[in-house]
Amino acid sequence: MRKLRYVLASAALAGAAVLTAQQMTVGSVAQTAAAADPVLNSPYLYLGDSAPTDIPGLMTASGIKSFTLAFVISGATCAPIVDGAGGTLDGLAKVVGTIRAAGGDATVSIGGAAGKKLGDTCADATALAGAYQKVIDTTKVTAIDIDAEGTEYKTAAIRDKITKALKIVKDKNPGLKTVITLPTAASGPIEGGSDYIQKAKANGSNIDLITVMPFDFYDGQTSNIAAATRTAVDGLKNQVKAAFGLTDAEAYKRVGFSGMNGSDDEGKITDLNGWNQILAYAKEKHVGRVSFWSVNRDHKCTGQDPTGNSCSGTEQTDWAFTKALAGFQG
């Protein structure tokens, strides 16, 4: 699922990542984090294929202040490595430092669809929390996103392990923001997604934001992605409201979504008009997080695969989706 997002993982880890320490002006990761919210309006930036090499320039051109850096995955054992950024947490920390030096901040995303997952390779919740803690300690981020796909989405025991691990890291890092990102139906979370909400409640995970990915539905009927985003997020809100005993307004602040700019794997298009409709809905409901996959794709295609990682497959100027997202303030 969502092959578009992660198909080049192996190449990136083999050294194909374009964001390396030698290519960037690096700020200190030990500096005080900027005032930018790392979670609220934070598009995914994949550190492998087609990653922008001038992040400060991108920030200036688009007005965006935060990114969700993808992805931390697992080595052969319960050890976090990076899909891109030279494959190391130190390389990832340098990217975070670059963003902070330019006045922004970052969330680190753990998981995705490709490669080994920490949820698979770590034996139990304590070991998994230790791997998450290593990411936090090395990068000095104040927010992590668990992008739960594959076995991390499908397997009940791993869902239990992840939600228990998130409780451990929240207890150890009181200021940490945690996000979990889930596949969804057009009606809202189903199956593993719904179970994540219930397990987060049962295990006291204290997850700050539960978000969905409203694209690649493969249901044979969804064609209007803007409308499907609304129904998916409303469905998520209803489940979060019921699980945690919240009001509608409180529940919307605890949920969000990550869209797809341009063409998804099915060829369903979110153009700029649709994206602006989606953002208007997010502003109306005051959702807690909006993101999209990905900044790398925020360009018009000029002969490239429109379902690839380098362009969107819709008419646009450079960074048009990112510029629109920069205007979302909750």
Query: Cα separation of 199 and 255, whole Å?
Result: 16
Cβ pair 272, 226 in contact under 8 A: no
Contact between 88 and 134 (Cβ < 8 Å):
no
Is 315 labeled as catalytic in the residue annotation?
no
CA distance 29 to 140: 6
Neighbours of 328 (CB within 10 A): 16
Secondary structure (3-state) at 125: helix
193 phi and psi angles, rounded to 5 deg: -65, -45
- Other Cβ atoms less than 10 A from the Cβ of 306: the count is 18
Give me 31's structure tokens.
């500096």
- DSSP one-letter code for 41: B
Q: Could you give the residue numbers annotated as active site?
A: 149
